[in-house]
Structure 1
């Protein structure tokens, strides 16, 4: 991209020598840049071989420059150039397509397909309309055709970057403030966790010294109390380590999992709570296949939504309907309760950290923000629809490519 962008300046540079030099970079260096990208991205060769190719593949560029007249400006032999630029471009395309076909991971396979679709058509157009045209006709008249293909590729890049991501680039427009709050929450929790760890370390050290000083008195009661304090500090330190793991950025450990089995597990985990409030559960599993996901995190999401539904149904005799099905845009899961519903203001803020409609001290308002984060990590979404007094429905949606 750097070679292409720099070389394209040749269209606006007035000075002839500089213009011809930039044009040479565009025509001769861009193929090298593309094939090296394809080699790196496809992971088809070892690091040592890739390093060797990085030094060997520029040799045709040097040869082309040596045989080209340099005065009054660089006059490129496009027939000679076609002999090596076409293999560079087409070989790079083959590497991209091959990396997609050989990829076993379903998530990575999707991204490799998008990358191939973005690069291969414009590259083939460049070979046909630019290099072959210049070599055969000794002139270039393919601006219109080439521009159409390149612009189509650019539009595809924008759409793919918004919906899926291309080359690690993903354009996001939604809930930027929410994401900043999540990061702020993690940062604040990390600092608090660090402070608690330091205080507990000091308490543990001081307690050990006290134990040494009072040991001579041989008081069983004092020894017993000190052992209890030490046991408590160990327990708190263990909790601190567990909390630290939770506030770090969530990394998915993906594998194939059956949604129906995961939902059954989540319902079983909340069985006593459902029975104590006499909540009836109805299920409709029209999709019973497997999905590529992080099983543990998604089971926690299911459990959170089930608990929220139970809390929303005041008194006893509520009803919870769970539906797993396949829609036009992917796999969907509905959690519909007949509880008290949400006010419009609450519906807009429900996924914000620390926001809670429950007025109990043990509710911190972090459950749904966690669900939002996990769904975002799965390239999915979580949405809520509610009518006050008529129940609430939470809908999880996963992209089609996660279906196995």
Structure 2
């Protein structure tokens, strides 16, 4: 029963990693290593639970069962840790930074596997495993060295990572991957060479460690995502579906821009001919030029929205993220009151947060303009210790929105402003930025009374100003 539970948990874990990033090389090598490591429990399940039933039905011979067991053990002991190290190399970014080392290791490991296979042939693995002490000395040395290289690569990848978000992800992955792997190495390649026979089945304790790791994986994935997976089916960095949609948007924008260049050239030539013949331009030229400008603005917005966001984060004071006190051209005569805590710093991408502030303030000004009156915009912040959130609220006294509009405002291309410069991409883009910061945007609005947009950040993204050294600012 424990073997069956073990294989179900391991299979579920491998499945989670696979769906986290089907097209990501790091994920795929992790899946490959996991499948090879799963041979350990599969061979036990096969040999001690399935083979007796098959032999009772006279469906398999003892020799065939031993051969299958031997080959599975050979694949486990010779290939699994080599695949783990290749996974660790991808995790550490060696294919990009040190391709010679990356491909050199694969060639070297293939050579080592060939030598081990000549010394301990696959079909004779079970015999050597039970009767040849040198088997454990060779295989243990080989796997423990690879285990040390694996650990070194993982720790090195964490220490060298400069990006805060990526570093946190790598730490979380290490916490989940390293314990079960290290436990397996110790209970197989230390216990067996030392002939600690009473502890030969100690490796089965890994089922508890693996179960805890899967629960931890699910918990982290539900909170902020891990290895590309969010349990709300929102793949935040390694999602192939989003890449497909974004690629289509890029192709569409490229095509439209090519056509607008040609149309602009045609209009320019036509203007010269018309001016030469009549000395004056008909109003249709202004309409055409304005329409082309609208298409170009639309292309720029779509391209910006479809691009994959990469955060360049640093510690910044919230009141430095936007020129709140010198934004008269945006305010259009309305009053802006800003009260942000100057004693704290926020770990974020300042340029992207600047875009959010600009978009929300511009929207507030539009709402005030529609109401027909000059009004007020208030910006405040608050640390919600109960929810462990840092909140920045931008509130206006404008026209407000009804519930129907509120349900759709974050949908791409949804807009209530029928103008040539509003395409319904501003708020979805702001939400995209906030999700990249592991946050969100909360909205409250009352018709004819105003709206408030609250930027919600995890509280772990803020520090007191004196707690952050000058070199990190």
Aligned equivalent of 2:466: none
Q: Which runs of 5+ in 1 are unaligned?
A: none
In 1, Cα distance between equivalents of 2:431 and 2:141: 53
Tell me if the contact between 2:431 and 2:441 (Cα under 8 Å) persists in the aligned partners.
Answer: yes
The answer to whether 1:380 aligns with 2:457 is: no
In 1, Cα distance between equivalents of 2:242 and 2:164: 31
The answer to whether 1:21 aligns with 2:80 is: no
Correspondent of 2:142 among 80, 84, 107: 84
Q: Deviations for 1:141-170, whole angstroms, at most 9, x for unmatched residues?
A: 124421111122222222333334434x22
Aligned equivalent of 1:4: 37
The answer to whether 1:153 aligns with 2:213 is: yes
The answer to whether 1:32 aligns with 2:82 is: yes
In 2, Cα distance between equivalents of 1:322 and 1:183: 38
In 1, Cα distance between equivalents of 2:249 and 2:162: 39
The secondary structure found in structure 2 opposite 1:384 is strand
In the TM superposition, residue 253 of structure 1 has moved relative to its aligned partner by: 5.3
Aligned equivalent of 1:265: 323
Correspondent of 2:333 among 259, 265, 276: 276
The answer to whether 1:75 aligns with 2:128 is: yes
The secondary structure found in structure 2 opposite 1:252 is coil
Q: Which runs of 5+ in 2 are unaligned?
A: 1-33, 52-64, 130-134, 463-471
Aligned equivalent of 1:291: 347
Instruction: Indicate how the Cα distance of structure 1 residues 75 and 400 shifts in structure 2: closer, same or farther if over 3 A, else same.
Output: farther
The answer to whether 1:122 aligns with 2:186 is: no
In 2, Cα distance between equivalents of 1:120 and 1:210: 70
Aligned equivalent of 1:306: 361
The answer to whether 1:343 aligns with 2:407 is: no
In 1, Cα distance between equivalents of 2:232 and 2:415: 25
Q: Which shifted more, 326-335 or 373-382?
A: 326-335
Correspondent of 2:412 among 337, 353, 359: 353
The answer to whether 1:191 aligns with 2:248 is: no
The secondary structure found in structure 1 opposite 2:191 is helix
Q: Which shifted more, 310-319 or 201-210?
A: 201-210
In 1, Cα distance between equivalents of 2:267 and 2:330: 43
In 2, Cα distance between equivalents of 1:365 and 1:204: 29
Tell me if the contact between 2:301 and 2:425 (Cα under 8 Å) persists in the aligned partners.
Answer: no
Instruction: Indicate how the Cα distance of structure 1 residues 388 and 208 shifts in structure 2: closer, same or farther if over 3 A, else same.
Output: closer
In the TM superposition, residue 363 of structure 1 has moved relative to its aligned partner by: 4.8
In the TM superposition, residue 59 of structure 1 has moved relative to its aligned partner by: 4.5
Aligned equivalent of 1:254: 312
The secondary structure found in structure 1 opposite 2:391 is strand
Aligned equivalent of 1:46: 98
Q: Deviations for 1:37-62, whole angstroms, at most 9, x for unmatched residues?
A: 22332246721122222122344444
In 1, Cα distance between equivalents of 2:242 and 2:70: 52
Number of residue pairs matched?
392
Instruction: Indicate how the Cα distance of structure 1 residues 107 and 390 shifts in structure 2: closer, same or farther if over 3 A, else same.
Output: same
Instruction: Indicate how the Cα distance of structure 1 residues 362 and 119 shifts in structure 2: closer, same or farther if over 3 A, else same.
Output: closer
The secondary structure found in structure 1 opposite 2:392 is strand
Correspondent of 2:168 among 106, 110, 118: 110
In 2, Cα distance between equivalents of 1:386 and 1:52: 60
Using the size of structure 2 for normalisation, the TM-score is 0.68
Correspondent of 2:380 among 323, 328, 333: 323
Tell me if the contact between 2:136 and 2:192 (Cα under 8 Å) persists in the aligned partners.
Answer: yes
Aligned equivalent of 1:140: 200
Superposition RMSD on alpha carbons, in Å?
4.2
